[in-house]
Structure formats: structure tokens, C-alpha cells
Amino acid sequence: MSSSLCYAFLYITRFEAHGSGAGWPQLWDAPADSDDMSIGLAALMMLVDAAIYLAIGWTIDRYFGIKTIKSNITYCTTTDEKAGVSIVNISKVYGPRSRRPKLALDNVSIELQKGQITTLLGHNGAGKTTLIKILTGMLRPTSGHVSVRSARARLGVCPQRDVLLTSLSAREHVQLYARLNTRLPAHQVSHEVDRMLEVLSLGPVSSEPVSRLSGGTRRRLCVALAFIGQPNLVFLDEPTAGVDPAARRDIWSMIVKLKEDRTILMTTHHLDEAELLSDQIVIMHKGQVHTTGSPIEIKRTLGNGYKLTVVYPDRAPDHDETWEETSQEEKTKQLLTVVRDVVRNANVIDVNGLEVEIGLPFFDVNGINNNFLQVCTVLEAAQTALGFKSYSMDCSSLEQVFFNICQRADAPNGIEYCKNDSTPIRNVSMSRGSKRQAIGSPSPPSSSYDKDDIRSVIKEIFKEELSEMLVKINKTIISTINQELEPLKKEMQGIRDSMYFMNEKFEDIKKEQETSKESVKKIELENTELRSTIEDINERLINLEQQSRSNNLDVQCVPENKNENVYSIITQLARVVNCEINEKDISHSTRIAKSNPSSTRPRSIIVQLASPRLRDQLLAAAIKYNQANPLDKLNCTHLGYAGPKAPVYVTEHLSPTNRALHAATRIKAKEMSYKYVWVRNGRIFVRKNDGAEYIQIKSKHSLSKIV
């Protein structure tokens, strides 16, 4: 390509050196008869080379270029209040073709809402980190897909370990991440950098290297970097891991400030942190989602309710031990009777010395909320009668619920759980290590039964039979529905697979179009640079050609005579305008051919003087003569010709390009009522009037300055 370009410029220069110039008629002509090349052939070879290079580059990029991992993440726009991210039936199997494949995720489906914090809870190996890697595109799932509903999808990630450069300060980290995420210069991201530093509240240490910052401050900076660049999706993988309680609270406050209009997914092993920050909690166990909901809903649905702890005053040291145990048992019965007047399904959990623990479920046997406020009111009214010192009520914590869910998932079938809560049945201990049966629990079998005992036994048997019947009916209904829905599920799966295939093909076509657009842009850029280079070379050639005429004058409208002496005409002209020039000062003089053969004007006389100084002297003398004799300007009679006084013009010898530009300038100046048009050292100038500034006309594009 470079050789063709050099040949094209070489032939243009040769045409200009011959005096004919390079134009469209000479496109396919050779400067010399012995040459087979031309300007057109050189340009055609450049286009062929460009096509060949483009084909080679596309082939190398297509078959040997960098391959990107195709993810199952679909980005779509929405205007309603749907979830920000939908995780649909995600499964991941490590080593599917090995002898022992490991199932990390099993049909996980989660809806992540915009403006909310969703927390993943689970033991180590539950699949939390695998799910985050799939969402960030680091892993591809075995099956399932992820839908992100956002017009512009930006992602922020905070990994488990700090990803910081020890030599950079906090401000430099924020500025670096802001420029990388937004692709804007430093002055355009300064506002966001200042805002984030204000949220971090680092103060004067923001300019210190991160190696000098504390562990909690570094972790806070790492979490803040995930929010740089206004990301729509933020993934926080154990953001408070390895920090002290004070630093944890600082990180909590920062996350709450930055969660607005963002979809945040967080993993943590601190259940108090999940309960405080989360709008939605997802409990995972062995790659499956076991429970989803808000912290309050999970505790209310799966928790044990409230635990009422009643403390009695100390006993007198001289009281009998047997009497004390009997008295404590009577007090516990009285307390349970009072509580059951409000919460009918309350039961004793533990009796330990002077403390009695009673379980208060959230709902009664009919599924109606129990009135805990009334329980407190009744206890305060009966405190003197019951003789207790104080009481307290504790709600089930999220840690207890999480422990119960995981224990229930891992427990074998032989372990039984209480009906009122999800904890295993345990013994109730009395004071001084003696173990007694818990009040309210079934009594041991005896030799005789009363009517109440028989009625309660029949009721329990009826409840068990009814519950088993309901379970069987439920299973039958579910199996029937699943059989009816199975063909529909297969059809929907086929449609979904077809849509996935079409989406992948569309993405491939889109990438190919983007690659073609980039190639076209590169070619257009090269053409622009080539055009600029050609214009620059043309300008230099024009200047060079004009410099070769620096000693020349163009004398126009002098009548032609067959026996004329051109040298005598020039010396006569010099005498008329009072310029001291003789024939020795004239290096060469001749008439040139007409540029327009149909013109009636005589051929111009080109005079080459010995130096530019003589040229300027004769030109200035002619101008001065015409100014001094406005009524009798330089004409043919002054040169010895008879007949009418035809004017004679003395000008600089312009190149063909400058001559055409000069003619166009005169026409445009006449249209715009400009008073002066003149040439000086091959450069063309115009001026509208005596007080206006002059304008230099360098090319046809400069004609637009004449207004």
C-alpha cells in the first residue's frame, strides 16, 4: 500500500514538473511513454491492498482472536416495578464428566428487588460464592439463566478479601475506580470522588497510603469501591469479614446510605448483620434455597415465638427442701394457668431453680395471633398474687431460626420435634440437679384413667389420623397436578430453549456488525489522513511551483507581431514606467500559449528577470505609473503600437492553480463589492475598502471568507 501511494505522488509530481499539471484527464496516463503505471492504477492497487489486509485481519480475529465466555445473563429494560434481577433455575455442577461430579447449585430461583438488600445465608459450601460468581460472569451455570432489568447495566463487586494497592491512597483508589467504571477524564469525575470520600468520612487520612490505614478502614474503602460509577447491581461478599465491631457498624451505616436505587446482594456469616441490614433473606443449604422472606416474616413463620422468663425471690435458708420443691411446683402451675388464660397453647420449657421459662407461640391452635400485650398486662396485675420478682420476654432470634432450619434439613427421620416449636424434646431440670417432669407435658402411664385423660387421648389420636389423611390428600393432589402440568412444562422448556438459542444468535450477529463498523471507521480514518496528506503535498507543490516563478512577470494584452522583439518590448516598457532595466537583466522572455484557445486576447509575454528584486522594481514602477497617470494608464501606444489605446497589464507570473484561484477571487470579490484584489509574491489578497483588514485567499475553501 505504501509503495502504491509513493508511485501516485511521484507521477503527480512528474506531471506538475512537465507544466501540464495532474488532473482527471491524466488519471490513466503515464508521465513518460516508457512507463506502464499511472495515477489511477496506483490508487486502484491501494484499494486492493486495503481489501486484502482487511480480509486477513478479519480472518485472524475470527479464528485465532480472543474468545469471550458466553454467559447466561440477559439484559432487558423495564418501566414497571418488577424485580431488578431474576435468577431462574440456576444449577451448577463441577466436573460433570468426571467420576464424582459435585452439585454446587440445584435449581436456585431468587428475585432481587431494586432498592433492597438481599442477604444470602448458609454454612460453608452452601453455594453462596458460586452463585455470586455466576452473577458476575466469572462462571457459567450448567443450566438456568439470569435476567437483569435495567437500561444500562453496571456492576459493582466487593470480594471476600481486600483488592487494594498498598502504594495508593484512598482518594487515588476512588478516582481510579471512577475513571475505570465511567471512562471519563479526571476533572469530570471529581464530584463523585468528593461525594464518596465524604461518605467514607476518612478526613485527613484520605491522602495516606492504604498500607498505613487500619484493617477496618481498608475494608470500608473496599466496600465503597463497589458503589463507584453509579452501578445498578452491587454484590458484597462478606463485607464485614475480619473487622472489629466498631468498624462493622461504620460499614453498615455506609451500605445503608448507598443502597438507594440499587439492587444489592450480600453474603455474611453474621446473622445480626443480616437481620439489621436485609430487606430480604435467602437461606441456602447444600445448593438449594430453603427459605426466602424478610427477617420479620422468617422469624414469625419459622421461629419459636416468645420465651417468657419469670424469676422468683430467694427462699429462706431454714425452709424444708421438700416443701420448697412442692411450693415451686405449685407456683409454676399457678403461673402456667394465668398465662394459658391468654395464650392457650403456652407450655413450660424449663424450670431451673428460681427461674421458670414458658414458650409463647406466635399463633394459637386456630392460626390467630396471640395477644402478647395482654400477657404482660395480666402478669403485672397478678405479680403480688403469684409472688414472682420479675419477668422478661425474648423473641426468637434469626440465629435460632437459621440453626433450626439447617438442623431440620440435616436431621435423620428418627428425631421428633415438639408440636409447638421446632426444637427437639428435652428434659426439664429442677433445682439442685434433681430432674422432674415438665409441667404441661404428657404424664407417665398409670393404672387408672379419669374421663379427662380418656378424652385427651381420643383427641390426640383423632388429630394424628386427621393430619395423616390431610397429608395423603395433599400428596395426591400435588402428584395429579404435576402429571397434568408435565406436558405443558416440556413445551415451555422447548420454547425457552428456542428463545435462548435465538438470543445467542442475535448476540453473535450483533458482535459481527460491531466488528464491521469498527473496521469501516478505521478505513474512513485512514482515508481522512490520506486526503489530508495529499492536500498538504498539493499545497507544497503549488508553493514550490510558485517559488520557481519568483523572478517572472506576466505582461498581458500586448499586440502580437510576427517580427517583434520581445526583449525590446520589455525594455521599452521599463523606460515608459521609468525603471532602469536593460536586456542584460532579462534572463528569458517569450510568449506562452493561450489557456483558452477561443479567446481573442493576444498571448501573454512571460519575462524572467535576473533576480526577484528587479521583478519587484518593474512591477512597482508599473503600478506607480498607473497611479500617477489615471487618465493615461499604461497602454499599447506607449510601446510604439498604432491604433486604439488598449491597456497593458503587468502582473506576477502565477501558477495555473493560483491563476484559476485568482480569477475566482476576482469574481467573488466583484459580487461582494470588494474594492481591492492584489497578488504579492504569489499570494492573493482582498480588501473591502481602505479602512478594512486584508484577507488572504489560500484555496477555494478560503473564498467563503469573502462576505
Q: For 152-191, write each residue's pLDDT tens digit.
A: 678 889 888 888 988 899 889 988 888 888 888 878 888 8
Residue type, 623: I
d(CA 271, CA 299): 12
Q: Is the pLDDT of residue 46 over 70?
A: yes
Q: How many CB atoms lie within 10 A of CB 611?
A: 12
The answer on pLDDT for 435 being more than 50 is no
**Least confident residue range of 431-435, 510-514, 569-573, 603-607:** 431-435
560-571 average pLDDT score: 84
Determine which helix (DSSP H) or strand (DSSP E) holds 457, and give its type and residue range: helix 451-547
The whole-angstrom distance between residue 598's C-alpha and the CA centroid of its chain comes to 68
Continuous H helices in 577-682: 612-628, 656-671
User: pLDDT: is 1 or 644 the higher one?
Assistant: 644
User: How many degrees, rounded to 5, is the angle at CA 464 between CA 460 and CA 470?
Assistant: 140
Burial (0-12, 13-18, 19+ Cβ within 10 Å), 478: exposed
Asked whether 375 and 360 are in contact (CB, 8 A), the reply is yes
Give 443's pLDDT tier (boundaries 50, 70, 90): very low
- Mean pLDDT value of segment 317-331: 60
What secondary structure letter does DSSP report for 150?
A: -
Q: Strands, DSSP E only, in 7-164?
A: 73-76, 85-94, 102-112, 117-121, 143-149, 155-158
Q: How many residues belong to the chain? A: 707
Instruction: Mean pLDDT check: name the lowest of 163-172, 379-388, 423-432, 500-509.
Output: 423-432
Model pLDDT for residues 582-615, shown as the tens digit of each residue:
878 888 888 888 777 788 888 888 888 888 888 8
pLDDT tens digits, residue range 611-667?
Answer: 888 888 888 888 898 888 888 888 888 888 888 888 888 888 888 888 888 888 888
| In the predicted structure, residue 328 carries a pLDDT above the cut 80 | no
- Confidence class of residue 430 from pLDDT cuts 50, 70 and 90? very low
Higher pLDDT, 318 or 163: 163
Q: What CA–CA distances, in Å, run from 544 to 5, 17, 606, 683, 685?
A: 21, 10, 18, 13, 19
Lowest model confidence (mean pLDDT) among 40-54, 401-415, 675-689: 401-415
Nearest CA to 61 among 547, 518, 412? 518
Beta carbons within 10 angstroms of residue 633's beta carbon: 16
Distance of alpha carbon 457 from alpha carbon 281, whole angstroms = 41
Highest mean predicted confidence (pLDDT) among 430-439, 470-479, 546-555: 470-479
Phi, psi (deg, nearest 5) at residue 294: -75, 160
Q: Residue 355's beta-bridge partner residues?
A: 311, 352
Question: Between 104 and 324, whose confidence is greater?
Answer: 104
Q: Which helix (H) or strand (E) holds 355?
A: strand 355-360
Q: How would you label 481-499 residue by residue, b for 16+ Cβ within 10 Å and e otherwise?
A: eeeeeeeeeeeeeeeeeee
Is pLDDT above 70 for 337? yes
Residue 70 pLDDT class (50, 70, 90 cuts): low
pLDDT of residue 424: 36
Question: What pLDDT is attached to residue 523?
Answer: 92
How does the average pLDDT of the chain come out, rounded?
Answer: 80
Compute the half-sphere exposure of residue 125: CA atoms within 13 Å on the CB side of its CA. 4
Residue 47 has pLDDT above 60, yes or no: yes
pLDDT of residue 599: 80
Q: Which of 422, 443, 336, 435 is nearest to 379 (CA)?
A: 336
Does pLDDT of 445 surpass 70? no
pLDDT above 60 (res 38): yes
Q: Which of 373-377, 543-547, 587-591, 675-679 has the lowest mean pLDDT?
A: 543-547
Q: Are 622 and 607 in contact (CB under 8 A)?
A: no
DSSP string, 284-350: EETTEEEEEE-HHHHHHHHS--EEEEEEPPPPPTTS-HHHHHHHHHHHHHHHHHHHHTT-TT-EEEE
DSSP label at residue 212: G
Q: What is the mean pLDDT of residues 6-34?
A: 78
pLDDT confidence of 347, banded at 50, 70, 90? Answer: confident
Residue 309: count of CB within 10 angstroms of its CB: 16
Q: Is the pLDDT of residue 41 over 70?
A: yes
Distance separating alpha carbons of residues 491 and 489, to the nearest angstrom: 5
Over range 19-35, report the average pLDDT. 76
- Min mean pLDDT across 54-68, 415-429, 481-495, 508-522 is at 415-429
Q: What phi and psi, each to the nearest 5 degrees, are found at residue 381?
A: -70, -30
Higher pLDDT, 70 or 463: 463
**The three three-digit cell numbers of residue 593, written as one number:** 500559449
* 520: confidence class by pLDDT, cuts 50, 70, 90: very high
201: left (phi over 0), alpha (psi -120 to 50) or beta: left
Check: CB of residue 254 under 8 Å from CB of residue 92: no
List, in order, residues 6 or more apart from 181 with CB less than 8 Å away: 154, 228, 229, 231
**Residue 101: predicted pLDDT:** 87
pLDDT more than 90, % of the chain? 4
CA distance 140 to 131: 10
Give the residue from 555, 557, 559 showing the smallest Cα distance to 641. Answer: 559
Coil, strand or helix at 487: helix
C-alpha cell at 548: 520557481
- Residue 201 corresponds to which amino acid? S
Q: How far apart are CA 292 and CA 313, in angstroms?
A: 44
Looking at residue 315, what is its pLDDT? 63
Judged against a pLDDT cut of 60, whether residue 439 lies above it is answered with no
Q: Answer yes or no: are the C-beta atoms of 24 and 12 closer than 8 Å.
A: no
Q: Are 571 and 582 in contact (CB under 8 A)?
A: yes
Residue 91: predicted pLDDT: 92
Q: Percent of the chain having pLDDT more than 70?
A: 88
**Rounded to the nearest 5°, which phi and psi values hold at 124?**
-60, 130
Amino acid sitting at position 588:
H
Residues 230-281 pLDDT 10s: 888 898 988 888 888 888 888 888 888 888 888 899 998 888 888 888 999 9
Residue 143 has pLDDT above 80, yes or no: yes
Hey, how many other C-beta atoms are within 10 angstroms of the C-beta on 165?
12
Helix (H) or strand (E) holding 608: strand 605-609
Question: By three-state DSSP, how is residue 696 classified?
Answer: strand
Q: Which of 92, 120, 85, 103 is nearest to 283 (CA)?
A: 120
Helix, coil or strand: residue 98: coil
The cell numbers describing 627, all together, are 497611479
Cα–Cα distance, 431 to 453 (Å, whole number): 29
Helix axes 245-258, 190-200, angle to 10 degrees: 140
Determine the pLDDT at residue 442. Answer: 36
More confident residue, 63 or 47: 47
Cα 170 to Cα 183, 187, 203, 505: the distances in Å are 19, 17, 11, 43
| Lookup result for grid cell 467420576 | 99
- Look at 31-35, 102-106, 251-255 and tell me which has the smallest mean pLDDT: 31-35
Q: What local confidence, expressed as pLDDT, does residue 335 receive?
A: 86
* Cβ atoms of 654 and 666 closer than 8 Å: no
What is the SS3 assignment for 257? helix
What is the DSSP code (8-state) at residue 108? E
Exposed/middle/buried for residue 651 (C-beta within 10 Å: 0-12, 13-18, 19+) = middle
The answer to whether 380 and 278 have CB atoms below 8 angstroms apart is: no
Q: Phi first, then psi: what are they for 102, rounded to 5°?
A: -115, 125
